[in-house]
Amino acid sequence: MSDESHNAYTGLLIRERWKLIEAIWLLHGIFMQTKNEFGIVMERFFDRASTKICGDSTEVGRLTEEYIRQMLQWNVSEVTVSTRISNWEELSNNWRESVEIRQSIENFWQLLNSTADIKKCEVCYIDERGKWYAFAPESMWDREYLLEFAEGQGIDIEWLTSEIKNHQKVPKRKALAMGSL
């Protein structure tokens, strides 16, 4: 892994807020990095999809099941880099062909969308028309809440919490005692 990717991974782990696209893939053992153009690509999706598949009966901020399904099928391979954390190998652009990973990610996103406390979304994604989405890929959520939610759904997060602890900058006891931080 390059130094730039390692720094981005460390930065993600120690942040208190996670974008859903980063968090959901991370919980599945994949480090997802978005390029600057990702927002533009997703804005195109939201522009097209919201007029077709966003139901009026859905609670404000939530997405319909069909909306999430189509969102996860939207081609973002040119504006993302996906790396499997276990071996730090970059996944090919067609990694979504893995039915197991794709289904697990979709199931988790659907479950989060339908049962999570929407108030834990700290920064909603707002499209060009001013409509806000708590469960869009760019929405930012409290890290601890997402970890607790995942654990409550039976996802093994022990490896991830260990990774977070290993990357947090905690001052050594001696430095604290000397007051030199």
Which secondary structure element, helix H or strand E, spans residue 34, and what is its range? strand 30-34
Beta bridge partners of 81: 33
Half-sphere exposure for 90 (CA within 13 Å, toward CB): 10
* Mean local confidence (pLDDT), 43-54: 64
- The mean pLDDT of the chain is 82
pLDDT score of 50: 58
Owning domain of residue 64: 3-178
For residue range 82-110, list pLDDT tens digits in order. Answer: 888 988 888 875 545 577 888 898 999 99
Per-residue pLDDT of 121-163, as tens digits, reads 999 988 777 888 899 888 999 999 999 999 999 999 999 999 9
What does the pLDDT read at residue 15?
A: 93
What is the value of pTM for the model shown?
Answer: 0.81
Give the whole-angstrom CA distance, residue 18 versus residue 26.
Answer: 10
The pLDDT assigned to 69 comes to: 85
127 touches 47 (CB < 8 A): yes
Domain tally, the chain: 1
